[in-house]
Structure 1
């Protein structure tokens, strides 16, 4: 398979920079093996059954984007330059791995000042990022970061507008619980309390898992032969209770539908060859592309993804490449809104609703 097999034309005007309000007012494309229906997320109860198990990612996005300054002595005096930092994941000993712009001018030992109460030392550099040691830790660091940091909007949104206070609500799921993600599980952003109540009322069940989405989710595929691409690793947790709920649903013939590609990747990582999901606590770098044999997933609710992305490869694995091409052509023709703040799709590879 070549990277060009996963390309499509997307008009720039279809890239959403703000979400629908209320959340469940977003449009929903429901695709089965040979049918497409146009609906809204609030209509989800029409397409689900009592006993369906929705798997939700309960990670919480941290305000990981920081604006700071670095000071360097020069023959003309101290020079102050601006720098933008995005935290990507915790490192050993309380340090943080991060991305920075500009990166090439930084040196180990330099300090970056973000606020009167927050600064950090550059302790290591690589070709793509750096490691920072902050001067606070624990709850003090979390509280300061919550005040100083901004939500880490995806690059394709950040290129069109700056993050603001509204994103602190918009870019967080209503069930967010465990802090650690630097990108939202965006399919989950469409759910609100009223929709959750409606689904529970009709007998839909829920299982919560945790996958801390990393900045690597936005990295482009750079190899023309997609089999040579190496996925970034992300930390995930499937509790014994969640594993048991998923395995029981499968044993009883009930559908397991992942809400978001992050939840899907995690439960496929935790599933054995027989479809039994076991407790999981570790890193996964699973790369799901056409040819993948799904062990546990019967359906997926997800947003519309970037051309040539690993997420487009994942949905192509679930539905088939030709079917996804038709689905995305329909979405473009019908002016669905794309990417993180865009509309949603419900992908059901079997005739089951």
Structure 2
């Protein structure tokens, strides 16, 4: 029998921090109909006419701040994750890495599995919480590509792993080295999404954003809601660390544009905590399995400086899952189970 194929897919990264490569990356990323979910004509005008031309030089400068001798941190750790999963799984499996945007592409990863004559393909989007703009986009792209093959092998997807016990354990253990009990407040800062995308996931039309705490508990109605899964991840990590509810906050970062995104915004929470006299904050970013621009710069630099300007003292980032062996065990267990 042939090997079993595994495709690990993360979001993506520019090939370099130079403006031209950042422009290509942003163009592919933001032209995705699931990322900016408006009609194609408006999306093209917005992305190609406004966002990419003006944002690329600024974003290039930010990538240069985190780029090191290993290149892109996200790609560097993703490659290590794929290699460690391959080593753990052994010769019965063929593990490939892909990025939803730019390189290595999903098409190239699938082609390598096809050339390896695998008997099946399991796709693991490396996003703990399901969102149409991330996991949904990966699934759609894979189905579009494989759907053109003459022979379509058995194929399966991991929809989310927001409550994976080994992942929760890894985040909790990463936090222990910072002595979380010594901080004034713990923040769980997740990547943001437009509110309209949350509403689209509410097939009843009667739940999403109808009350302030609609995301606080997972139910049959909101079980695929990104925000609800984020709250559940935060609750589980806090429970593992014995952090009481009043000492942690869930918030959302990386807002783009002026329309309402998932709230509360991380910047607003920083301001509110500073006004209450909080000085030291410990921040988790559990929407990411590898450190990247949003963690290494947005949290560690921008939010740290923003909080200090408000009268606070410290914003300390908890390292992401990166190459932690326990997280690799989590991915291996997903494959085998």
Which TM-score band (shorter chain)? under 0.3
Larger Rg: 1
Query: What TM-score, normalized to structure 1?
Result: 0.27
- TM-score normalised over the length of structure 2: 0.28
Task: Tell me which protein shows more strand as a share of its residues.
Answer: 1
Greater helix share, structure number:
2
Q: Which has the higher contact order (CA 8 A, sep 6+)?
A: 1
